[in-house]
Structure 1
Amino acid sequence: MQGDPFYSVRMRAAKHNSHENGGKHISGGEMISTYDTIKYAVNELVEKAITHSRGKPDFFQVQVELIHEPINLVKPLEVQTNEVESVECGQALARRILENSGVPKRIVEKAYEVIAECSSIRGAILLDIQTGQRLDNWNEKGVRVSRMDWLPSNFEKWAIHQHIPPSSRLKEALVLATKVCDHPATIAELCWSDDPDYITGYVASKKIGYQRITRLKEYGDEQGCRIFFVDGIQNVSTYISYLEKQPILIQWGEDDDRAIN
């Protein structure tokens, strides 16, 4: 694998128009691929685009780019599942975990105010834990985390070792959370899906790992949430560049290499 060129393969799908022209976001996804597996990656992402529970897209785009930068290898966050009986219990637990991760209570409450105000946002909100201010200032667009993956064989070994079913949904979410939390300015992430059929969400941080919460919204709710709680950012554009541009592969069980050139 080392020495072979890698490619970023990304997909986004919308309904009624493209995202830039006000279309409803349906789905997105991405993979890191070798040249020989580009066809597989494209097919997987197209399948995701046309079978998503948010609807049938009439616009989708697949983009393939050669990765020029070294790819960092990052160990996955530790995973724990928290079973809850209701959305109220799940949201109360999410608040407590955020506080335990180092987010002040007043900032947690501010985050929920922002969530209510930004119900249709497509990407992530960056929230400063000192001021409670939103740092991305991208209105309804938000920040998209990109150029990340977990090679299937390594992910399956990890899932077997953890006694966890090898779900592609868990894989995608854990990859994203691990990349985000690997940055020293990230204190925590709060997330639940905009998929109306999926009600599990999570809080993640370096301190407490990836904490799945089995009920953070009701079935049928298409409002999602993704907030990155950050501290000590001197240059917001540099942080966003890391999220969007730095290539990351999750690697479990290998301690020797930290980058693929």
Structure 2
Amino acid sequence: MLDRARTHQRGKADFISIRIEEVKNEDIVYKPLLSMESFEAADVAEGHAVALAELEKAGVTRTAAQNGISALLSLPDSLRGAMIFDAVSGKRLDGLGQRGVRVSKMDCADSGDYEADLERRGLSGEHVREALVLASKVAGADDIIAELCWSDDPDYITGYVASSKFGYKRIPVMKEMGSPVGGRIFFVKEETDLNKLCSYLQEQAVLISLGGDDNV
């Protein structure tokens, strides 16, 4: 993470904040690593069509899915966190503007096994490593229906749709090459307790297990 902050494609960071906090073993929650499937897409339009279909498959209405894609396309700059949308109505719920909701305090339970698993899939690099762990934590929340994301790195155009039902769907083209704008949206159930959800996303320490263990 420190190396990425120092060498990010969007430019040099104004400052880097590192937080070190003791976490007791009994406070850690384990969630399973999402299964992964890669799709093909020749251009952005095809990528968005795949994303739309996968969001609907996961339980997001077409209206909400279309609203989500449109919201990311209309961003003036990248979000620092995620937007939260109602998976039925497609309305934004978090009210946090460009700040969004940050997801933190997660990692893989066994880094060596995780890296080896990615190598077997022919995947490498911090983008997919971090995204799959983050998506697995997010999908582990009770009220999350699905997640939509594409990167803000100008030279990385891959994105994904993720859900607890169908796993991590990697889509190779979700924006134009050179675009510095990206973001993510969490689609949630109606009547979701946003305070409880945000507490889990921001404060709950989670380790992602390749074995599929889930203790919550």
Is the TM value for this pair above 0.5? Answer: yes
Counterpart contact for 1:155–1:166, Cα < 8 Å: no
Q: Aligned in 2, Cα 1:235/1:181: closer, same or farther, shift over 3 Å?
A: same
Q: Does 1:95 align with 2:59?
A: no
Letter in 2 for 1:215: V
Tell me which of the two structures has the higher relative contact order, counting C-alpha pairs closer than 8 angstroms and 6 or more residues apart.
Answer: 2
Q: CA deviation at 1:140?
A: 1.2
Whichever of the two has the greater Rg, that structure is 1
Cα deviation code 1:82-129 (max 9, x no counterpart): 121111111111111111111111111222333244432221000012
Give secondary structure in 2 for the equivalent of 1:62.
Answer: coil
Counterpart contact for 1:194–1:225, Cα < 8 Å: yes
1:70 aligns to what? 27
Letter in 1 for 2:8: H
Give secondary structure in 2 for the equivalent of 1:63.
Answer: coil
Counterpart contact for 1:185–1:233, Cα < 8 Å: no
Letter in 1 for 2:95: N
Identical-pair percentage? 41
**How many Å separate the matches in 1 of 2:84 and 2:76?**
15
The aligned runs of 1:44-193 (5 Å cut-off) are 45-68=1-24, 70-120=27-77, 121-150=79-108, 151-160=110-119, 162-193=120-151
Q: CA deviation at 1:167?
A: 3.0
Letter in 1 for 2:62: K
Question: Which structure has more strand as a fraction of its residues?
Answer: 1
Cα deviation code 1:22-49 (max 9, x no counterpart): xxxxxxxxxxxxxxxxxxxxxxx32221
1:201 aligns to what? 159
State the TM-score, normalized to the length of structure 1.
0.76
Match of 1:226 among 162, 176, 184: 184
Counterpart contact for 1:127–1:133, Cα < 8 Å: yes
Q: Does 1:217 align with 2:138?
A: no
Q: CA deviation at 1:251?
A: 1.3
Give secondary structure in 2 for the equivalent of 1:210.
Answer: strand
Counterpart contact for 2:64–2:91, Cα < 8 Å: no
- Report how many residues are paired: 213
Counterpart contact for 2:144–2:186, Cα < 8 Å: yes
Q: Aligned in 2, Cα 1:64/1:108: closer, same or farther, shift over 3 Å?
A: same
Q: Aligned in 2, Cα 1:254/1:82: closer, same or farther, shift over 3 Å?
A: closer
Q: CA deviation at 1:168?
A: 2.5
**How many Å separate the matches in 2 of 1:138 and 1:102?**
24
1:251 aligns to what? 209
Give secondary structure in 1 for the equivalent of 2:19.
Answer: strand
Counterpart contact for 2:138–2:201, Cα < 8 Å: yes
**How many Å separate the matches in 2 of 1:114 and 1:181?**
21
Give secondary structure in 1 for the equivalent of 2:185.
Answer: strand
Counterpart contact for 2:75–2:181, Cα < 8 Å: no
Q: CA deviation at 1:58?
A: 2.7
